[in-house]
């Protein structure tokens, strides 16, 4: 079976350009139906997915893949936010999953 990769249309590309002109540095691009939230970093020409856990949904994952394809066409990379790193008493860093983060009450 051949899987067809998403190819942004000229309308998709123009929409992406328009969004980048409207959103300020550090602003948010959101896709409410897919529950995806991206932080816009114009100075680094990238979008950072801030709620990676939403990619567990196949619908959200598909929208994320389309976002990557579309924004790459206008020179923006799309990345995922890294898990926070905590230090133990020995100063050794350890990745923390969201559900293990002690800052979440």
> Is residue 41 packed enough to be buried (19+ CB in 10 Å), middle (13-18) or exposed (0-12)?
middle
User: What does the pLDDT read at residue 14?
Assistant: 97
* Residue 47 is assigned to a structural domain of this protein: yes
Nearest to 103 by CA among 86, 78, 82, 90: 86
What is the pLDDT tens value at each position of the chain, 105 positions in all? 445 588 999 999 999 999 999 999 999 999 999 999 999 999 999 999 999 998 989 999 999 999 999 999 999 999 998 765 555 555 555 554 555 545 555
User: What does the pLDDT read at residue 1?
Assistant: 46
Q: How many domains does the chain have?
A: 1
* Residue 2 is assigned to a structural domain of this protein: no
* Residue 5 is assigned to a structural domain of this protein: no
* Residue 1 is assigned to a structural domain of this protein: no
């Amino acid at each position: 079976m051949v899987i067809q990769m998403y190819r942004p249309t000229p309308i998709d590309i123009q929409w992406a350009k328009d969004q980048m002109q409207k959103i300020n540095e550090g602003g948010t691009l959101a896709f409410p139906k897919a529950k995806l939230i991206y932080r816009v970093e114009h100075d680094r020409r990238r979008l950072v997915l801030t709620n990676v856990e939403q990619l567990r949904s196949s619908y959200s994952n598909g929208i994320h893949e389309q976002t990557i394809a579309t924004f790459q066409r206008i020179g923006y990379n799309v990345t995922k936010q890294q898990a926070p790193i905590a230090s133990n008493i020995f100063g050794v860093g350890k990745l923390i999953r969201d559900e293990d983060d002690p800052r979440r009450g």
